[in-house]
């Protein structure tokens, strides 16, 4: 069970859009529609932002969206805001009642 692959860092200016990728295999990301995304600010617990690839929990701003193509899932943040600066992690069901996380991506708002 290998960690999902995410870019180490991404950046964008306020108002711009950024996309964070999460690449796995047909045994995890590609095989199930069970990808979730978490936002983590320094010193805080992660917060669920997207689940089941595209669904947004109540209270999460609608400028966060998720998608998937093949073995790669993506989190898009449109209309970047200063408070979106954080670490982001993807997570996928990997079969046989196991989960796997991505290595994490640091988003910098310039």
Partner 1 sequence: QVQLQESGPGLVKPSETLSLTCTVSGGSIDNYYWTWIRQPPGKGLEWIAYMYYTGSTNSNPSLKSRVTISIDTSKNQFSLKLTSVTAADTAVYYCARGNIGGLLTPWGQGTLVTVSS
User: Rounded CA gap, 35 and 51, in Å?
Assistant: 6
- Within 11-70, which residues bind partner 1 (CB under 8 A)? 32-36, 38, 45-48, 51-52, 57
Q: Rule CB under 8 A: is residue 98 a binding residue for partner 1?
A: yes
Q: Rule CB under 8 A: is residue 10 a binding residue for partner 1?
A: no
Can you say whether residue 24 is alpha, beta or left, with left for phi > 0 and alpha for psi between -120 and 50 degrees?
beta
User: Rounded CA gap, 7 and 29, in Å?
Assistant: 16
Q: Rule CB under 8 A: is residue 89 a binding residue for partner 1?
A: yes
Closest CB 1 distance from partner 1, rounded Å:
6
Find where tokens 């670490």 sit.
87
∠ Cα 44 63 7 (to 5°): 60
List of residues contacting partner 1 (CB under 8 A):
1, 3, 32-36, 38, 45-48, 51-52, 57, 89, 91-93, 96-104
């Amino acid at each position: 069970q290998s960690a999902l692959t995410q870019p180490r860092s991404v950046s964008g200016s306020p108002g711009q859009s950024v996309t964070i990728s999460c690449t796995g295999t047909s045994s995890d990301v590609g095989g199930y529609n069970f990808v979730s995304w978490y936002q983590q600010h320094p010193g805080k617990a992660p917060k669920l932002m997207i689940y089941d690839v595209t669904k947004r929990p109540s209270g999460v701003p609608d400028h966060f969206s998720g998608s998937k193509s093949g073995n790669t899932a993506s989190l898009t943040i449109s209309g970047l805001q200063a408070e979106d600066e954080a670490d982001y992690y993807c997570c996928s069901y990997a079969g046989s009642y196991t989960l796997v996380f991505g290595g994490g991506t640091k988003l910098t708002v310039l």
